[in-house]
Amino acid sequence: MYEQISHTLLNDILNRIKPEISEQDLRHFYTRLGANFYGIHLLFQRLYGDRDDFDQQAQKLVETMATQYINRPDRLRQLDLAREKDYNWFLHQQWTGMALYCKGFAGTLKGLQERLHYFQELGVNMVHVMPILLCPEGSSDGGYAVSDFREINPEVGTLEDVGQLAKEMKERDILLVLDVVVNHTSNKHYWANCARAGDKKYQDYYYTFENRNVPDMFEQSMPEIFPETSPGNFTWDEEMGRWVMTVFNDFQWDLNYSNPAVFIEMLNIILFWANQGADILRLDAVAFLWKKIGSTCQNEREAHLILQLLKDCCQVTAPGVVFIAEAIVAPVEVIKYFGEDAVIAKECEIAYNATFMALLWDAVATKNARLLNQGIKNLPVKLERATWLNYVRCHDDIGLGFDDRDILLCDYQPAHHRQFLVDYFTGKFEDSYARGLPFGQNAKTGDTRISGSLASLAGLDYALETGDKEMIDDSVKLILLLHGMIMSFGGIPLLYYGDEIGTLNDDTYRDDPYKKGDTRWVHRPSIDWDKADQRNIPGTVEYEIFSALKRMIAVRKEMDAFADFNNRELIEVENPHLFVFGRYHLQKPNEKVLVVANFSNRPKSLNIGELGSWGAQYRQFVDVYSGECPDVFKNNLVIPGFTFYWLCER
């Protein structure tokens, strides 16, 4: 869009641009910069327009984008051009992801490269390698307390190893997902060390204060993230002689995005990792980017402006790269991280569907789909050219952030129901065989979250110990049921490493002094590859889960209706144990898939008459996942316990 003020500034910037930039062939860069600069200027001015050095900061911003474009390898520039043409590439049903810790999965980046065949065997073609950057030993927060944004943890490899991994993954058509921790740094980062030494420039990279006056004003409205291990939101640094904002842990210093130098530094880092071959960048803790006294310092309007600006700038330099918003917040808030007041995503193209994940676990505990159906009804419709990451487990805990109104509509009392869920998944409830652990218990609010591997939460630990074949079968069916939901709901299914072979809780974290206080390490395993090899031995649990997921992924890739174009319809039925929804093809009305899930351990029925148009043309259903026709008795579809169907008309 042409607009005089921004156009004049852009002319001035290009007239002043460094010779080492202007002498390069920047045809595609200039085309994209011209197309995006009105939006870039508008956002940059809203955030930083009251500063005397605005023009100089804008100059630095453009030169940063141009420098990283020059550094971008030609093969990635060609990929950018291809993805600009196929702009819906990440919405296709062909993608299935897996998130993993490199060290726990394969030891090193080279080891991960040697295991790429494993993903292809399963059908996974998007791999999220969780943080691999340099962190201080003992205060790394699982890799999210970064002390150098460009240096790899030597225990897993080198920057050259990342390049080799990315290159081979592209040859195998596997997407690489990497993290950029945008909200904070380690207190051992170079910037923090300079701030600690008294450098005012770097003290302004963080929120630091001489006394408690301003911190105490913030604390009146800010919640505590880790009340057990890191109460409060500020930490006194003795060497600096100042209080510093530390929302997550006392060793993680929050970055001050009201300083444009911080924004430009972090943009430079994002583009650096885009140039290392990342197809997708996961932006960590985006809900916390802007701090404002009198607020919770989460989900502020300016945080969205920052993300919009990052997206616009990335589209100029590396338009083939998309963003994941790591924002584990209420549905009404998470939808905004796709972009507000927009038709297509203009912040992050992908967001975690934490609500769906938590609702699935509620259905597991209650063995009914009442809250699941109610919660999905209130899940806002996402924007076009945006999609969900649907997952069952991840490296983090399970939060129970359901809307209280939804809980009440299901005739539950919110506090009692959440306590029931905690008791159920920690094995305190009489009829539960789950072996989860509590995490983040807050004595002030009563809030508790849950840790544990998928298999252990599904009761597989207990079933294997007792040798009860029926219980083992039920646990496996439950694991597959949950995956059947994330594979068909709409979005990118994201498996968590180890779940594909039924990995149980790993209690060895209790022997590590740096980990024993954090129960989340119970579900961050080191893969036992001897155990994983049992995936090839019929009759083993590993074989049952792995082979079923392999089939599930293969079938999903063949179903065009599973692509994510807001083509899902929730179908409310009388049986409270059932979760039913339809997927359809926007251009081909006859291509439909009816998804039916039974969260009870007992068979349940569904009257086909309740399906409306989805059952009106019924002749005979076939379950495309199993290839078999389900039982129908007197116009009632029969669904066995812990079973799901992907039904098409035969």
Just list the catalytic residues.
284, 326
Instruction: Measure the CA–CA gap between 611 and 624, rounded to whole angstroms.
Output: 19
The single residue listed with the structure tokens 């505990």 is: 365
Buried b (16+ CB within 10 A) or exposed e, 110-139: eebbebbebbeebbbbbbbbbbbbbbeeeb
DSSP line for 397-459: -B-----HHHHHHTT--HHHHHHHHHHHHTT-STT-----EEES--TTT---EEE--HHHHTT
DSSP line for 340-387: SS-SB-SS-SEEE-HHHHHHHHHHHHHSS-HHHHHHHHTSPPPPBT-E
Which candidate, 602, 605, 585, 601, places its Cα nearest to that of 593? 585
Burial (0-12, 13-18, 19+ Cβ within 10 Å), 505: buried
Cβ neighbours, 10 Å, residue 476: 20
Instruction: Measure the CA–CA gap between 456 and 526, rounded to whole angstroms.
Output: 16
Positive or negative CA dihedral for 78, 80, 81, 86?
positive
Angle ∠(463,467,468) on CA atoms, nearest 5? 65
Provide the Cα torsion 572, 575, 579, 581; round to 10°: -40
Distances in Å between the Cα of 634 and the Cα atoms of 112, 175, 578, 608 are 53, 47, 19, 9
Q: Where are the beta strands (DSSP E) in 511-640?
A: 568-570, 578-584, 592-598, 604-607, 621-623, 632-633, 636-639
Is the separation of the CB atoms in 450 and 438 below 8 Å? yes
Angle ∠(137,139,142) on CA atoms, nearest 5? 90
